[in-house]
Structure 1
Amino acid sequence: MNEYGHKAENMVKLAERRVFSNSFTPLYDEGMALVERAAEYLDGDGRCEAKHLSRNASALYAAESMRLTTRLMQIASWLLLQRAANSGEMTRDQVAAEKAKVRLDTASAQDNAPCWDELPGSFCGLIDHSLRLQQRVRAMDEQLYGDLAANDAIASNPVSNQIHLLRTAFGRG
């Protein structure tokens, strides 16, 4: 039971229904379109615009390009996993196991970094859009897998593993 008196499994089912329904399609389409738009920009206009940046702005552009690419590939991986589950290609457990490899926390220096104001507006727009999309995907991920993510963090922590073993051995856990 949660603090509202509802079974936690009911909440997961609502989140699953959202992901495994047609309401997921617009998010999927938006994510994949953003991946494509970013790739086109970075290979085309972005490459040309980057040549005109100062040395410091160019270094920031390179770092943010890598962050943007990483963020979008992680989002795309998450979306593809959910689509595979939605279509029945993978079970929820298979998706959860693969999803553990996906990171939805790629940050950005954003506008507080020196030389940020020198970056091309189109590039900054892609970064902003990717960060907003990452937040939406992350929120959906927490609705679906929140408890699993917490358990995975504990399970992957060697100190927590040892404490758990000690508690179990001494009948306290």
Structure 2
Amino acid sequence: MRAGTPESPVQRRLIDTLYVEAMLLADDARSYFDDGGRIERELLGPLERVTFSCESLKVTTRLMHVIAWLLTQRAVLTGELAASDALDPSRRLGEGPVTDTMTIDRLPEPAQALVAASIDLHRRVARLDEAQVPDALAQSPARQMLERLNLAF
């Protein structure tokens, strides 16, 4: 998924699959944090309730950043946006909110699963985001080794 590469069916399918995954996860998170987790949230102590609310916002933030990035990639694939424009910092994925593992352990299991899923999805999309930067591949150790081997033979 490097900038300037032509659209491939695999690339299109990957973006579409990730988009569906992100939208389903966003719907699950909204449903749980707004309604389904209400009873579990009320059973928590005051500090844990605040933590629950903060983690809810972090999940939402991660997912909205991922969805925005995926929509940008769809725009590139359909020709609505130049690939070089997708590299603008305002269109890049950026860092996701940090969640401490000890914090996750204090949440109800459904909340833990949603937090973990949002972190995992953000990490996977972050790898794609980094791969689109032209220098990313040139800087990889594997690429450097291949270049040295090519020079040697």
Q: TM-score, normalised by structure 1?
A: 0.67
Q: Are residues 15 and 128 of structure 1, via their aligned partners in 2, closer, same or farther at CA, if it must alter by over 3 Å? A: farther
Q: 1:125 aligns with which of 104, 113, 120?
A: 113
Structure 2 matches for 1:22-171, cutoff 5 A?
A: 22-97=13-88, 98-100=90-92, 102-110=93-101, 112-113=102-103, 116-145=104-133, 147=135
CA distance in 2, matches of 1:15, 1:75: 22
Q: CA deviation at 1:104?
A: 3.4
Q: CA deviation at 1:95?
A: 2.0
> Secondary structure at 2:13's aligned position in 1?
coil
CA distance in 2, matches of 1:13, 1:75: 21
Q: Tell me how many residue pairs correspond in the alignment.
A: 135
Runs (5+) with no aligned partner, structure 2? 137-153
Task: Let me know the Cα RMSD of the aligned residues.
Answer: 2.6
Asked if structure 1 preserves the Cα contact closer than 8 Å seen for 2:22 and 2:66, the reply is yes
Q: CA deviation at 1:126?
A: 0.4
Structure number with greater CO (CA < 8 Å, separation at least 6) is: 2
> Secondary structure at 1:23's aligned position in 2?
helix
Runs (5+) with no aligned partner, structure 1? 1-9, 149-173
CA distance in 2, matches of 1:90, 1:11: 14
CA distance in 1, matches of 2:10, 2:70: 10
Q: CA deviation at 1:132?
A: 0.6
Asked if structure 2 preserves the Cα contact closer than 8 Å seen for 1:74 and 1:104, the reply is no
Q: Are residues 132 and 16 of structure 1, via their aligned partners in 2, closer, same or farther at CA, if it must alter by over 3 Å? A: farther
Q: Are residues 128 and 107 of structure 1, via their aligned partners in 2, closer, same or farther at CA, if it must alter by over 3 Å? A: same
Asked if structure 2 preserves the Cα contact closer than 8 Å seen for 1:38 and 1:126, the reply is yes
> % of aligned pairs identical?
30
Q: Are residues 103 and 25 of structure 1, via their aligned partners in 2, closer, same or farther at CA, if it must alter by over 3 Å? A: same
